[in-house]
Amino acid sequence: MILQLHYNTLTAPPEPDQSSVVLKIDESVEKKAFVMPWANPAWVASQSMDIPAHSTDVSHSFELKPSLFISNASGGAIPPGTPFMIHQAGLHMHTRGTRARTEIRGADGATQCLLDIPSWNFHWQGSYALEAPKTIQPDDNLYLECHWDNTSPTDINWGEGTGDEMCLGTFYVTQ
């Protein structure tokens, strides 16, 4: 397990870390589940998520069939070509984010909103339980869109620092 923490000491002096983790390990589970991250691999690998300086509304989006890799991503828990369920959705951006949305785009053209945050707040990076699980069919796409206000004098891109940015969806999925 890897736990990544971000600290911001720009507005307050450093304090001792008080983070904790509680784990519960069961002998068996009814359904195998995992958290599936969702972002354009090119944003991360080749820094192609440009957010130019002096821009008030820059957006990037990504859409792909998760069925193309769900078996590998789930360690084989979800076989190729089978539907799976999304129970929770989360979005992650940093401080220049203004709004973000993720949805299922069905092969039939229908859309189902998973999470829409029209006025982003850096502290809303948690995961949100859906009222009812949503089913992803093998031919459905998963869509992610993020917007930023970069009125600073510096271009920014994907990065780990709070001064950098991200556009990341996370989904809690089961068979």
- Is the Cβ–Cβ distance between 70 and 78 less than 8 Å? yes
pLDDT of residue 126: 86
CA-to-CA separations, 57 to 22, 97, 169, in angstroms, rounded: 39, 9, 20
Sign of CA dihedral 106, 128, 117, 56: negative
Domains in the chain, CATH or no CATH each:
33-174 (2.60.120.230)
Strand pairing class (97-105; 141-150): antiparallel
**How far apart are alpha carbons 161 and 42 in whole angstroms?**
18
Which pLDDT value is given to residue 130?
Answer: 98
pLDDT the model gives residue 119: 97
pLDDT averages per 10-residue partition of the chain, 175 residues: 77 86 88 92 96 98 94 88 96 96 97 97 91 97 98 96 94 94
pLDDT at 161: 87
Note the pLDDT of residue 7.
77
